[in-house]
């Protein structure tokens, strides 16, 4: 029998703040889930009547995806937004199929599903990461940011320029529902100290920034800024986020290796208006997200 104390998440207060921004949103908290992204994607596919509908990432989407209409008898509510929080996630997934370990109380794991129709999808993970970083580490003119962003979807606790430890990650996936596309944005953040054995990028947690923070408090801090950033991205694209992203860009000015089909070394020069990473290696290469990873050189 599990006697673990469950956290107090303030789901009603969360819903009251988010409902004006995302009408019809549901806020759900579960003690345990395999993956919050998987659960919301399965719901979307079931509501579309296409249980085997392909899951894609932003940047992999064919603009003419089309697809059949939602079957007769389906309700419009099938497209309503949902925020799903899991106290413990047993089969969390990261980018490129990597596992994301999340233990109860020590991590914050949640996914937000909503229909989305931006003019361009590229840069969405960067806008999401920036919203999370700014909510957890508000910028101060007199101090350097403590939370940096590693292109394309990681948050790091900074120790010096280009150096730090991984604090969290983002996984964005989409699926067609009738003529719409539902976007599922998954977030994992380390909250409490944990062993760092076997972690290539070290381990950082929010308690290093705020000794009193908890997973519910972190959720309360990030959800509204996250939704506002998504809506801004949908209407304006990534270009309006570039300047703020640059202030937290972990890779900027750093020597990196791009693990593309033809790997190469170079120096990161920031991101462009579409969220592509710019790497100078003789000439400037524009690196887009997908099956590509970028590794910092270690001194």
pLDDT digits (tens, 9 = 90+) for 214-242: 999 999 999 999 999 999 999 999 999 99
Q: Where would I find the beta strands (DSSP E) of 44-120?
A: 82-93, 99-102, 107-115
Which residue did the predictor score with more confidence, 108 or 295? Answer: 108
Q: For residue 152, say if its preceding peptide bond is cis, omega within 30 degrees of 0.
A: yes
The answer to whether residues 101 and 149 touch, using CB atoms and an 8 Å cutoff, is no
The rounded mean pLDDT for the chain is: 86
Tell me the pLDDT tens digit for each residue of 174-217. Answer: 998 878 899 999 999 999 998 766 666 789 999 999 999 999 99
Domains of the chain as residue ranges with CATH:
11-250 (3.30.930.10)
237 φψ region: left (φ > 0), alpha (ψ -120 to 50), beta (else): left
Edge-first strand listing for the sheet containing 293-296:
283-287, 277-281, 264-271, 255-259, 293-296
- Round to whole Å and give the CA distance between 93 and 107: 14
Residue 161 carries which DSSP code? T
Torsion angle of the four alpha carbons 130, 92, 174, 62, in this order, in degrees rounded to the nearest 10: 90
The answer to whether residues 255 and 265 touch, using CB atoms and an 8 Å cutoff, is yes
pLDDT reported for residue 1: 41
The answer to whether residues 129 and 155 touch, using CB atoms and an 8 Å cutoff, is yes
Tokens of 216: 């519910």
pLDDT reported for residue 96: 46
Q: How confident is the model at residue 72 (pLDDT cuts 50, 70, 90)?
A: very low
């Amino acid at each position: 029998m599990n006697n673990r104390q469950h956290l107090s998440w303030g789901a009603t207060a969360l819903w009251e703040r988010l409902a004006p921004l995302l009408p019809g949103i549901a806020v759900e908290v579960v003690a345990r889930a395999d993956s919050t992204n998987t659960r919301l994607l399965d719901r979307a596919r079931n509501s579309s009547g296409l249980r085997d509908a392909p899951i894609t990432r932003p940047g992999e989407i064919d603009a003419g995806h089309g697809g059949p209409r939602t079957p007769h008898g389906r309700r419009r509510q099938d497209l309503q937004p949902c925020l799903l929080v899991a106290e413990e996630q047993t089969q969390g997934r990261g980018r490129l199929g990597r596992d994301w370990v999340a233990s109860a109380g020590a991590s914050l794991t949640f996914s937000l599903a909503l229909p989305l129709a931006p003019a361009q999808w590229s840069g969405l993970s960067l806008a999401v990461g920036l919203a999370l970083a700014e909510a957890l580490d508000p910028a101060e003119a007199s101090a350097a940011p403590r939370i940096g962003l590693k292109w394309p979807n990681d948050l790091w606790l900074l120790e010096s320029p280009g150096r730090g430890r991984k604090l969290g990650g983002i996984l964005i996936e989409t699926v067609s529902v009738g003529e719409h596309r539902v976007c599922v944005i998954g977030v994992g953040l380390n909250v409490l100290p944990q062993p760092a054995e076997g972690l290539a990028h070290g381990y950082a947690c929010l308690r290093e920034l705020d000794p009193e923070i908890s997973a519910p408090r972190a959720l309360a801090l990030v959800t509204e800024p996250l939704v506002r950033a998504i809506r801004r991205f949908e209407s304006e694209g990534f270009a309006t986020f570039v300047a703020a992203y640059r202030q937290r860009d972990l890779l900027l000015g750093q020597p990196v290796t791009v693990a593309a089909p033809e790997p190469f070394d170079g120096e990161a020069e920031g991101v462009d208006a579409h969220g592509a990473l710019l790497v100078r290696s003789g000439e400037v290469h524009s690196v887009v997200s997908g099956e590509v990873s970028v590794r910092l050189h270690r001194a």
